Amino acid sequence: MHRLTGRAAAEAAGMASSPGARAGSLFPHCANPRCATGWMHLWRSRRVPGFEGRWACSAECMGELVAAAVRREMDGGDAISPPHPHRMPMGLMLVEQGGITPAQLREALEGQQRAAEQTGETVRLGEWLVRSGVLGEPALMRALSAQWNCPVFPLASYRPEEVAGAMPRFLSEAFGALPVRAAAGRVLYVAFSGRIDRSLSYALERMTGMRVAAGLARDSEFAGAQAGFLGTPAPATRFLEAASSWVLVRAITERIESKRPVEARLARIHDTYWLRLWRRAADGPGLPAPGAVEDLLATVGNSGKSTG
Ligand SMILES: [Zn+2]
């Protein structure tokens, strides 16, 4: 009866159960539309692994579900989260708000460009202005907040251990993002440094089943808070550079088949595929404990545009 308890808990946590495995349904149905097993699968004692709330009768059928999910992520990920429309350039906004003069803007843009030519690294204009003492951080945060139309999250009393299971540490570092707080298991507050990454927000919504409220954080607070987050116990994370999408599908399927998670989900953040496996059903709504999940982060080589 252990697995029923697990599924009941998963349902309580808001995870969709496999369509055929609802209470009252005698036999589960394989979610692979091209499943060729027929009634034989009733003799297979599989309830796990689960993938995106569904169940497949065999490794072959799981491979089909995974291939469809990889195709979906490859084709649709960017279209669903377009870049933020019509953002006013930071310099213009600061001048309009009276934070800096047009002359200061011109000077900063020139200095920023000179530095970029010398170091090969472009410092964001706002950051440049704060560094050169022209602009205070509070004024910069007001402008950024208006530019991105989002709040500024204070991180002074940040408690990283409460959100330790939210996401792989690599994603925090790669996209300048920090899970801040999970409110009532329904809203996940995520702070970004300098710019909001909608692709990551969207992936987090799908992974956690929570609404993501994105905001900005002051650079002066972000670094320390992020160091705290990076220092908390994290879900086990593997990295994979797949030569093609076919290799990616095979690797994900093998991972799911060998780990037999109660649930697994796939999302893409720009070029990074994020597979998360739930080792056990959630105790309730909200973020999983770091030990309850494990992550696989993968990129696909240039040749891998077709899943065949
Ligand atoms: Zn099947």
Q: What is the DSSP string of 55-83?
A: E-SSHHHHHHHHHHHHHHHHHHHHHHSPP
CA of 56 to the centre of ligand 1 (A): 5
Give the residue from 230, 257, 274 where a domain finishes: 230
Share of the chain above pLDDT 70, in %: 82
Per-residue pLDDT at 190 exceeds 50:
yes
Residue 17 sits in the same domain as residue 27: yes
Other beta carbons within 10 angstroms of residue 294's beta carbon come to: 21
Query: Which band of pLDDT confidence, cut at 50, 70 and 90, is reported for residue 285?
Result: confident
CA of 149 to the centre of ligand 1 (A): 47
What's the whole-number average pLDDT of the chain?
85
Residue 129 sits in the same domain as residue 65: no
What pLDDT does residue 8 have? Answer: 42
Q: Is 306 inside a domain boundary?
A: no
Helix and strand counts by DSSP (H, E) for the chain:
10, 9
Residue 167 sits in the same domain as residue 221: yes
Tokens of 45: 């004692």
CA of 33 to the centre of ligand 1 (A): 8
Give the residue from 127, 148, 169 where a domain finishes: 148
CA of 81 to the centre of ligand 1 (A): 32
CA of 54 to the centre of ligand 1 (A): 11
Helix (H) or strand (E) holding 237: strand 236-242
Q: Is 84 inside a domain boundary?
A: no
Per-residue pLDDT at 242 exceeds 60:
yes
Per-residue buried b or exposed e for 181-215, using 16+ beta carbons within 10 Å of the residue's own CB: bbeebeebbbbbbbbbbbbbbbbbbbbbbbebbbb
Apex 180 CA angle, 152 and 11, nearest 5:
130
CA of 32 to the centre of ligand 1 (A): 5
In DSSP terms, 211 is beta-bridged to 187
Query: Which band of pLDDT confidence, cut at 50, 70 and 90, is reported for residue 23?
Result: very low
CA of 239 to the centre of ligand 1 (A): 29
CA of 25 to the centre of ligand 1 (A): 17
Mean pLDDT value of segment 254-278: 96
Tokens of 116: 């970029």
3-state secondary structure of 255: helix
CA of 166 to the centre of ligand 1 (A): 32
CA of 77 to the centre of ligand 1 (A): 27
Residue 172 sits in the same domain as residue 201: yes
CA of 277 to the centre of ligand 1 (A): 20
Q: Is 169 inside a domain boundary?
A: yes
What pLDDT does residue 40 have? Answer: 60
Residue 121 sits in the same domain as residue 188: no
Residue 204 sits in the same domain as residue 258: no
Q: Are 266 and 70 in contact (CB under 8 A)?
A: yes
Closest by alpha carbon to 70, among 48, 51, 53? 51
Rounded Cα–Cα distance for residues 116 and 122 (Å): 5
CA of 36 to the centre of ligand 1 (A): 6
Range of the domain at 138: 90-148
Number of structural domains found in the chain:
3
CA of 62 to the centre of ligand 1 (A): 8
CA of 80 to the centre of ligand 1 (A): 30
Residue 247 sits in the same domain as residue 195: no
Q: Beta strand pairing status for 211-216 and 187-192?
A: parallel
Q: Is 49 exposed, middle or buried (0-12, 13-18, 19+ CB in 10 A)?
A: buried
CA of 65 to the centre of ligand 1 (A): 10
CA of 253 to the centre of ligand 1 (A): 14
Other beta carbons within 10 angstroms of residue 26's beta carbon come to: 6
Residue 226 sits in the same domain as residue 154: yes
Q: Are 171 and 295 in contact (CB under 8 A)?
A: no
Length of the chain as a residue count: 308
What pLDDT does residue 28 have? Answer: 67
Q: At what angle do helices 59-80 and 198-208 cross, to 10 degrees?
A: 140
Give the residue from 211, 230, 249 where a domain finishes: 230
Q: Is 307 inside a domain boundary?
A: no
**Which CATH number belongs to the domain containing residue 214 in this structure?**
3.30.300.160
pTM of the model: 0.81
Q: Is 111 exposed, middle or buried (0-12, 13-18, 19+ CB in 10 A)?
A: middle
Q: At what angle do helices 245-259 and 59-80 cross, to 10 degrees?
A: 120
Backbone angles phi, psi at 275, to 5 degrees: -105, 130
Residue 141 sits in the same domain as residue 205: no
Higher pLDDT, 39 or 107: 107
CA of 48 to the centre of ligand 1 (A): 13
CA of 303 to the centre of ligand 1 (A): 29
Query: Which band of pLDDT confidence, cut at 50, 70 and 90, is reported for residue 24?
Result: very low
CA of 76 to the centre of ligand 1 (A): 26
